[in-house]
Amino acid sequence: MTDTKYTRKDFVSDQEVKWCAGCGDYSILAAVTNALPEIGVDKKDIVFVSGIGCSSRFPYYVDTYGVHSLHGRANPIATGIKVSHPNLSVWITTGDGDSMAIGGNHFIHLLRRNIDVNLIMFNNQIYGLTKGQYSPTTPLGQKTKTSPHGTIEHPFKPAELVMGAEGTFYARTVDTNPKMMKEIFIEAAKHNGASVVEVLQNCVIFNNNTHHNITDKEVRDDNQIYLHHGEKMIFGKDSNKGIVLEGLKLKVVTVGENGVTEADILTHDAKDKDGTLHYLLSRMSLPDFPVAMGVIRSVDAAVYNESLEAQIAEVKNLSKIKNVSDLVNSGETFTL
Amino acid sequence: MTSNKMNVVEVEKIVVKFAGDSGDGMQLSGTQFSDTSAIGGNDLLTFPDFPSEIRAPQGTLSGVSGYKVHIGEIDIYTSGGAADILVAMNPAALKFNMHDLKSGATIILDSDIFEPKNLLKAGYESNPLEDESLSNYTVIAAPITTMTRTILKETGLDTKTIDKSRNQFASGILFFLLNRNLDEGIKFLQQKFAKKPELVKSNVNVIKGGWNYAYNLQLIHTTYRVNPNLNKKGKFRNITGNIATAWGLMAAAEKANLPLFLGSYPITPATDILQELAKHKELGVKTFQAEDEIAGVISAIGASYAGSLGVTSTSGPGLSLKSEALGLAVMTELPLVVVDVQRGGPSTGLPTKTEQSDLMQALYGRNGEAPMIILAASSSSDCFDFAYEAAKLSLEHMTPVILLTDSYLANGSELWSIPDISKLPAIKPPLVKENVEGGYQPYLRNPKNLVRNWAIPGQAGNQHRVGGLEKNDVSGSVSHDPLNHAKMVELRAQKVEKVADYISKQTLNGPKSGKLLVVGWGSTKGAIFTAWNQLKNEGKIISSTNFNYIMPLPSNTEEILSGYDEVLVCELNNGQFVNYLRAKFPKIHFTQYNKNEAQPFMVSELVEKFNETLEAL
């Protein structure tokens, strides 16, 4: 915690930013550097960690501590940093290739352990840095350099992996909404445990407009729903559409039609430990549903790094062995 | 308690092999025998030899688990050659070990088990107790199962539990045969089963029963005694290589005043290091059992970046998986200790057996020019010293270090003279203070040893980024400049080469020049030294040397190797070290002696090879 008052500028590094003009990463960088002054952490205690890919150049551009590691390996680096030095605020920037393909194993285990780090996944549904191959989130059938006849692989929804691994925090946002991004990054920082923020991000060169059905001005109000804990799930240009539960399925309804009133609309409970509804919300997709934005899930659970510190304190308290000399002289020894 | 009727022969060393099914308690009998030998003042070395299956079918050759103990009035450097005494709990254990028995050896076996079903399982066509096949040995065929059941019949214990004490009947016979103090054997059982008094009672009764049986048996005409080793003075404990490695790392972290973090994934035969370190939360050790080998090493690099001593432990297949991460540690110039407990390879290979075949992988198994320090421990107890040294060099020179041990050292044990921890050498990593004047530059180096300075998160004003991309000299910004890359490749290589100024000089046994120098590295030290010593005592002129520092080599290596007509390099692989030396010293005449059986060298085979070589020169 810090009393220092920071501004965005305090977090801008002296490195030249080398993303393509028009890349969605710029707005994510701006939102992060806008959010960091508000998380109450001294900048000496912040570490940004990444793997490989366009998103993974991120640590060079923030004036904090940082490690640009290997493809897919940001999560274990972050784990090592946080577990060994739990007072640090650790952030991971990664992409859909980095964390859904080569780093997929580390992704689920980070969440399973619930290590207190913040992971921002830039999902542009393409390999950008290697110039345009399909990724694990590329829509089925899309033509790319390695799928000239269309992909034949079913894509992951990152949220499904988070829910499957019983992740404790999942939020989704878009690179076209700086205000929403900033709010969500601050929420992620506040969460004690592993926070995953999926940012639907545009790759202007190799997958331009991949999210335009969600993000374009003309459609965004109808095609996104920004969920807030404790508030009704209402969306639409005229703020008259809502989500209801019918049996085991969600359904879009219009308030005022067919006798639907606002009272019928679901109220978002991000803190419900049972993730069933979070799972359904995170899976909503066009054209039948709006895409859910905001903090979809944020629940309290045991945090790995805290449990470890607690065990160490307990064992230290009980043990007679106070140093290595005590250890090597303990147990069976023989004096000859 | 020794019977006066018996003829007691004093011997200066003896090798006892315990063999049976995995569940027969052979490791327990072996440990009981080695611990009581240590209390009796003998020097000793142990070597467990077991299959990779947890419970292979009972009574079969593939299920035989063994434990070899070599004790001596003289200094002991190997787990011994062929056994003087074999304890065989079933026909398979006997058959499996026949090739490794001295002529005239004593065999203690359970005659109850030598019945047709078990003989068939072991592949015997006739009963060796009835044919002539054991006529060259002294066989003590005791009805161990019957006797044990009789002794414990009133205890109310079930047959399965009773049969688990059979090993103690054999131990009783062995204690008699070797004139050991039975009280020490009993004390061992009291400590071992401290929480189960009923087992103390039953096992003590059985070991006494075994001793009495031997005492009353007219077949034993000669017993043996191994007197205390008077060279051993001070406080000792019996230690395996893996435990010694774990403790060496802990001692180094304490000395450097840094937290110890181990990121590791279970793999035979290295898992004990993870298990041992996981026990020591009282000293603040953090172990992280990762989801795979890669996450193990990467988390250790993360911990090092944040200011810990980051360590990972593994075996050959795991080292392969860690290759890319080792390159990252080279590039970021962070401390990292990698312990590779070598086993038989390639691929899954022979997980529980020993080999020295990861040397080339350790030296060169990475993309790019990625030199790092390579050390090799040479005995179970000096795993402590070299783990300590690996951590010291890694921290003080800001480079990854691979420490090579192997299954033989890791699972074997020997007496360890407990060091005074306060007297271990200081460890001083090049940490900077907060708010470095003029701004922290990650690749600013100490001109003397080319080591970069180290800032850690949490320090005010020293924010910086490291990573796998090539970095500009001094500033550490990303750089694709051709001349900068050339310079950084050179700096990283020189930094490791300069470590030679900070390590011990290579030492030599025997004359500085002559016809033959025999060379080993790592765990073959004991066998090569013992063979060399034997030839020397026979009046032959021969020299020997063992390397612990592989990369860089000690600064006097060429001088040591240059004085001979032939340099014979002996190793448990197909010639990895000899080829490394050939590349470094093309003028020296190297020959090689290799063993690829995933077993340690026997002194006898080395003696034969050395004699052969000397004769041909």
User: B277 — contact with chain A (CB < 8 Å)?
Assistant: no
Q: Tell me which residue in B41, B191, B325 faces A70 most closely, judged by beta carbons.
A: B325
The model's pTM: 0.95
Q: Which of B219-223, B333-337, B608-612 has the lowest mean pLDDT?
A: B219-223
User: To 10 degrees, the CA torsion angle through A115, A121, A127, A128?
Assistant: -130
**Does B7-225 carry CATH code 3.40.920.10?**
yes
| Pair B372, B330: CB distance under 8 Å | yes
* ipTM for the predicted complex: 0.97
**A8-210: CATH, from 3.40.50.1100, 3.40.50.970, 3.20.20.450, 2.60.40.1240:** 3.40.50.970
Question: Which residues in B lie closer than 8 A to residue A52 (C-beta atoms)?
Answer: 468
What are B85-118's pLDDT values in tens digits? 999 999 999 999 999 999 999 999 999 999 999 9
What are A15-69's pLDDT values in tens digits? 899 999 999 999 999 999 999 999 999 999 999 999 999 999 999 999 999 999 9
What are B371-384's pLDDT values in tens digits? 999 999 999 999 99
Listed residue (A282, A281, A270) closest to A243, CA to CA: A281
Cβ separation A315–B295 shorter than 8 A: no
Q: How confident is the model at residue A80 (pLDDT cuts 50, 70, 90)?
A: very high
What are A131-159's pLDDT values in tens digits? 999 999 999 999 999 999 999 999 999 99
User: A308 — contact with chain B (CB < 8 Å)?
Assistant: yes
Q: What is the mean pLDDT of residues A101-126?
A: 98
Residue A50: its H or E element: strand A46-50
* Own/partner pairs, B124-129, CB within 8 angstroms, 24+ separation: B124/B91, B124/B95, B128/B91, B128/B94, B128/B95
Radius of gyration of chain A (CA): 22
Q: Which residues, in sequence order, are bridge partners of residue A49?
A: A67, A92
Q: What is the pLDDT of residue B5?
A: 57
* Rounded Cα–Cα distance for residues A281 and A292 (Å): 6
Q: What residue spans define the domains of chain A?
A: 8-210
Core vs surface per residue A126-147: b (16+ CB within 10 A) or e:
bbbbeeeebbbbbeeebebeeb
Q: Tell me which residue in B259, B421, B463 faces A324 most closely, judged by beta carbons.
A: B421
Q: What is the mean pLDDT of residues A74-96?
A: 98
Q: What is the pLDDT of residue A229?
A: 98
* Rounded Cα–Cα distance for residues B105 and B137 (Å): 5
What DSSP line would sit under B459-509, residue for residue?
Answer: STT---EEESS-B-TBT--B---HHHHHHHHHHHHHHHHGGGGGSPPP--B
Question: Which residues in B lie closer than 8 A to residue A36 (C-beta atoms)?
Answer: none
Interface list for B 189-218 with A (CB within 8 A): 191
User: B87 — contact with chain A (CB < 8 Å)?
Assistant: no
Q: Which of A73-77, A105-109, B156-160, B242-246 has the lowest mean pLDDT?
A: B156-160
Q: What is the pLDDT of residue B46?
A: 94
User: B299 — contact with chain A (CB < 8 Å)?
Assistant: yes
* Rounded Cα–Cα distance for residues B56 and B58 (Å): 6
Tokens of B303: 């911990």
Q: Report chain B's mean pLDDT, rounded to a whole number.
A: 95
Residue of A nearest to B251 (CA): A324
Residue B164 Cα, gap to closest chain A Cα (Å): 24
What are B43-90's pLDDT values in tens digits? 999 998 877 777 778 889 888 989 999 999 999 999 988 999 999 999
Interface list for B 215-244 with A (CB within 8 A): 228-229, 232-238
**Percentage of residues in chain A with pLDDT exceeding 70?**
100
Q: How confident is the model at residue A1 (pLDDT cuts 50, 70, 90)?
A: low
Residue B573 Cα, gap to closest chain A Cα (Å): 32
User: A10 — contact with chain B (CB < 8 Å)?
Assistant: no
* Rounded Cα–Cα distance for residues B22 and B542 (Å): 43
Cβ separation B457–A316 shorter than 8 A: no
Q: What is the pLDDT of residue B7?
A: 86
B245-423 falls under which CATH superfamily? Thiamin diphosphate (ThDP)-binding fold, Pyr/PP domains (3.40.50.970)
Residue B219, pLDDT > 80, answer no
Residue B2, pLDDT > 50, answer no
Residue B4, pLDDT > 50, answer no
Of residues A193 and A4, more confidently modeled: A193
- Residue of B76, B184, B258, B298 to mutate, interface with A, max A Cβ within 10 Å: B298
Cβ separation B254–A63 shorter than 8 A: no
Residue A81: its H or E element: helix A74-84
Residue of A nearest to B299 (CA): A80
User: To 10 degrees, the CA torsion angle through B25, B31, B36, B41?
Assistant: 150
Q: What residue spans define the domains of chain B?
A: 7-225, 245-423, 432-503, 514-616
Residue B3, pLDDT > 90, answer no
**Does B514-616 carry CATH code 3.40.50.920?**
yes
Interface list for A 12-41 with B (CB within 8 A): 13, 15
User: B541 — contact with chain A (CB < 8 Å)?
Assistant: no
Residue length of chain B = 617
Q: Is B360 helix (H, G, I), strand (E, B) or coil?
A: helix
Q: What is the DSSP letter of A102?
A: I
Q: Which residues, in sequence order, are bridge partners of residue B571?
A: B594
Interface list for A 106-145 with B (CB within 8 A): 106, 109
Residue B233 Cα, gap to closest chain A Cα (Å): 5
What are A208-246's pLDDT values in tens digits? 999 999 999 999 999 999 999 999 999 999 999 999 999
| Pair B451, B429: CB distance under 8 Å | no
* Rounded Cα–Cα distance for residues B428 and A81 (Å): 21
- Residue of A2, A65, A92, A102 to mutate, interface with B, max B Cβ within 10 Å: A65
Residue B488, pLDDT > 80, answer yes
* Rounded Cα–Cα distance for residues B502 and B521 (Å): 19
Q: Tell me which residue in A76, A85, A324 faces B457 most closely, judged by beta carbons.
A: A85
